[in-house]
Amino acid sequence: MRTDILELHAFYRTPLGDLARATIAARLVEAWGTAARLSVAGFGHATPFLGAFPDAARVIALAPGGQGATPWPEAGPGRVALVNGDRWPLPDASLDRVLIVHGLEETSNPRRLMREVWRVLADDGRVIVISSHRRGPWSVIDTTPFAAGRPYLKRQLTALLEASMFRVVNWNAALYFPPFQQRFMLRAADAWERAGARLWPGFGGVIMAEAMKDMLAPAGLARGARRALLPTPIAAPQPVRRAAP
């Protein structure tokens, strides 16, 4: 069962949640800039982060149906839609960028989710997957949504992306400061981030993998991924024949 949208919404309205949002958003801007003239979609609970892309041509927030969705003014004029986790109402190759946050850890089928991302991304598109880090404190202290679901190690996320026909092009991490609401801890967050990135790069609260579609994947694997996305055909009903008296 997914974390309820009201819990996610309430967390990002706290000082700790707002600081976490700003810290992760800064890493996103480092990777994608303002996404000028690009089509951007976020899956999971991405609306707090989509405001980092004010110059995008189109912004869509896709929320899992079991989670729910709420408007988020800071995300700009983008639309919010409830979707099936691995069935998105978008055409093939229709997006330039996809952001996944609070979306992977609680999905029932991570590989099908990533194959759907592969389908909707343009050939030169990119995805950033933000996941709770298994070795970070945010995944074990259950006062934040980052402790929900299954956290990942870097090698586990790499294996998932490669199995889903992606090639990782960049790694990043964030949330080195502890997940506590005390003001004196929040005031020291910038120092924690600088020290953590330099001294403990493997212990961030979240890991961030940026990946591109692997267009050189074996043809059979690509066809298999496509077939997995197609609904099973249903036989047409046959007329009932009555026996002659």
| CATH code at position 214 | 3.40.50.150
- DSSP run (H or E) holding 200: none
Average pLDDT, the chain: 86
191 within domain boundaries: yes
239 within domain boundaries: no
88 within domain boundaries: yes
Q: What is the signed CA dihedral for 218, 170, 159, 86, rounded to 10 degrees?
A: -80
Q: Is the pLDDT of residue 109 over 60?
A: yes
Q: Is the pLDDT of residue 179 over 90?
A: yes
H runs (alpha helix) in 164-218? 183-187, 189-199
- Residue 58 CB burial class (10 angstroms; 0-12, 13-18, ≥19): middle
Q: Where are the beta strands (DSSP E) in the chain?
A: 39-44, 58-64, 79-83, 95-101, 121-132, 166-174, 206-213
* Alpha-carbon separation of residue 213 from 36, 44, 82, 144 (angstroms): 21, 20, 25, 32
Q: Of 23, 58, 22, which is closest to residue 42 (Cα–Cα)?
A: 58
* Residue 192, both tokens: 């924690």
Comparing 31-35, 45-49, 207-211, 216-220, the range with the smallest average pLDDT is 216-220
Mean pLDDT on 159-176: 96
237 within domain boundaries: no
59 within domain boundaries: yes
The predicted model scores a pTM of 0.85
Percentage of the chain modeled with pLDDT above 90: 69
241 within domain boundaries: no
CA 64/CA 2 separation, integer angstroms: 8
Domain total of the chain: 1
Comparing 137-146, 171-180, 194-203, the range with the smallest average pLDDT is 194-203
Pairing status of strand 166-174 against strand 206-213: antiparallel
173 within domain boundaries: yes
242 within domain boundaries: no
Q: What confidence tens digit (pLDDT) does each residue in 31-44 have? A: 999 999 999 999 99
- Give me the pLDDT at residue 72, please: 64
Q: Of 54, 152, 61, 68, which is closest to residue 99 (Cα–Cα)?
A: 61
Does residue 92 or residue 222 have the better pLDDT?
Answer: 92
Domain range for residue 125?
5-229
Q: What confidence tens digit (pLDDT) does each residue in 45-54 have? A: 999 999 999 9
Give me the residue label for tokens 């099908």.
112
